[in-house]
Amino acid sequence: MIEKIKGFRDFYPEDMLVRENLFGTMRKCARLFGFLPIDYPSLELLDLFRTKSGDELLSQTYSFTDKGKREVTLIPEATPSTVRLMGSRKDLPRPVKWYSIPKLWRYEEPQSGRTREHSQFNADIFGDSSPEADAEIIGLACETLESLGLKGSFEVRINHRQIMEKIMNMLGTKDLVAGLNIIDRYRKETRENMLEELTQNLGSSKNAGLLIEFLSDKSKASEIAKTIHKHFPSLDLSELVKGIDETIRILESWGYSNLVFDPATVRGLTYYTGIVFEGFDINGKYRSIFGGGRYDNLTGLISGQDMAAVGFGMGDAVLENLLREKELWVIPRERSRYLIIPMKEETRKYALELAGSLRKSGVDCSTMNNVKSLSNSLKSASSGLYTHAIIVGPKEMETGKVTVRDLSSGNQEEKRMDEIH
């Protein structure tokens, strides 16, 4: 028997029914916020990701040289492809609000919440540099989680790349990109290792210590200015903080209050230019549920067309873990699925006719194509993930009514065909 490849997942119907509902919720929320769907190839030129996504991500790609001797890769993230699409259309009125749910591939060590292939909900706004656009992106991520039943179960950690760059420069960084990458590993490293690495980057153990104290100081998102001033009183970042404050105010007016200022949230990708954010379960048990930020320079790098842009990605693997923990990974019952069970050979033809009529009226149904005992037939219905069984015997043929059994409660009643929905 040939096994599946390590790091990849199989999905049986009991999971696919939940996943279809999950992706349906994502699409519904995106449309609620005015986003429109796009799609793009799973295979792109490797150059699209080279220098745009950072060396670490590039080393994790499933890349190869194709028969046309081109360097190509299965896409490891969605943003460059989305930007490529945007750069190819000069005729679109802005702002543009797009979403997609592609599969992505990264060759990294599989662990809880991390697989080598995953689906990801992405949303982006192009041509709008306002705090309101930042709020819409974060609001969409929050609304999606709340619509899945996770209200109160997550927090959004917010920061700003330019704020961190100014602080790093003030502290004497020798390599800004390397310094930000060190900070990005803040919660994965010991304090001793972090102090050593930042001392090398800043050239001062004192400044490294000051930075670590700042990184450890999470606060309410509305207290960003106060937190920064406490650690760096001589640094004036009022203009940058003003924009974040406006974004926070909008989000709170929409009812999203699970927002914190987290100096250690910088996002490792090199193309972020402004606000950055990540969503985590409130207990910090899992990897980030979603993450994103503003990337105003990336469109110019890819298409030569400078444009403001902000977006996020929300992977399915961590989200599934959290939904399972909260007992929310369940098959939705909004839409009934019926199995028609003929009790006698002479009722099989009638059962098939009934199935045809129900399908014409939009009812999901199937028929048992062989006659078994009622108990065995009901077991088949339950294992097939049907919600109801329609029992058809000689009496039902005569009366024109059928017996409908709810497979979760065991209750049953007689119904006319036009009462089944």
8 A C-beta contact, residue 309 and residue 98: no
pLDDT at 304: 77
DSSP reduced 3-state for 114: strand
pLDDT at 55: 67
User: pLDDT class for 142, splitting at 50, 70, 90?
Assistant: very high
User: pLDDT class for 111, splitting at 50, 70, 90?
Assistant: confident
pLDDT at 325: 96
Number of neighbouring beta carbons within 10 Å of residue 371:
15
State what percent of residues in the chain have pLDDT above 90: 80
pLDDT at 54: 62
Q: Is the pLDDT of residue 50 over 90?
A: no
**Mean of the per-residue pLDDT values of the chain:** 93
Q: Give the residue with greater pLDDT, 144 vs 222.
A: 144
45-54, 112-121, 350-359: lowest mean pLDDT where? Answer: 45-54
Q: Is the pLDDT of residue 168 over 70?
A: yes
User: pLDDT class for 16, splitting at 50, 70, 90?
Assistant: very high
User: pLDDT class for 51, splitting at 50, 70, 90?
Assistant: low
CATH number of 337-419: 3.40.50.800
* pTM score of the predicted model: 0.92
User: pLDDT class for 219, splitting at 50, 70, 90?
Assistant: very high
8 A C-beta contact, residue 348 and residue 372: no
pLDDT at 203: 95
The CA–CA distances, whole Å, from 388 to 7, 206, 403, 411 equal 36, 69, 10, 10
User: pLDDT class for 268, splitting at 50, 70, 90?
Assistant: confident
Give the angle subtended at the CA of 304 by the CAs of 303 and 308, to the nearest 5°.
85
Q: Is the pLDDT of residue 355 over 90?
A: yes
Q: Where are the domains of the chain?
A: 13-325, 337-419
State what percent of residues in the chain have pLDDT above 70: 99
Q: How far apart are CA 114 and CA 229, in angstroms?
A: 37
Q: Which long-range contacts (C-beta less than 8 Å, at least 24 apart) are formed by 377-385?
A: 377/339, 377/341, 378/341, 378/405, 378/407, 380/339, 381/339, 381/341, 381/407, 382/407, 384/339, 385/13, 385/14, 385/17, 385/331, 385/337
Is the C-alpha dihedral spanning 351, 354, 360, 361 positive or negative?
negative
What average pLDDT score do residues 67-88 get? 94
Q: How far apart are CA 284 and CA 282, in angstroms?
A: 6
What average pLDDT score do residues 37-44 get? 97
Of 2-6, 311-315, 368-372, give the range with the top mean pLDDT.
311-315
DSSP H stretches of helix in 68-130: 79-87
- Give the tens place of pLDDT for each residue, 319-344: 999 999 999 999 988 889 999 999 99
Q: Is the pLDDT of residue 269 over 80?
A: no
DSSP reduced 3-state for 22: helix
Q: How many CA atoms lie within 13 A of 336 on its CB side?
A: 19
Q: Is the pLDDT of residue 302 over 90?
A: no
What average pLDDT score do residues 182-190 get? 92
- Give all strands (DSSP E) within 288-420, no chain letters: 290-294, 309-315, 337-342, 364-367, 388-392, 401-406, 412-416
What average pLDDT score do residues 39-51 get? 91
pLDDT at 53: 64
Q: How far apart are CA 10 and CA 20, in angstroms?
A: 15
8 A C-beta contact, residue 308 and residue 335: no
**CATH superfamily of the 13-325 domain:** Bira Bifunctional Protein; Domain 2 (3.30.930.10)
Q: How far apart are CA 339 and CA 354, in angstroms?
A: 11
Q: Give the residue with greater pLDDT, 417 vs 46.
A: 46
| Among 157, 117, 122, 95, residue whose Cα is nearest residue 39 | 122
pLDDT at 180: 94
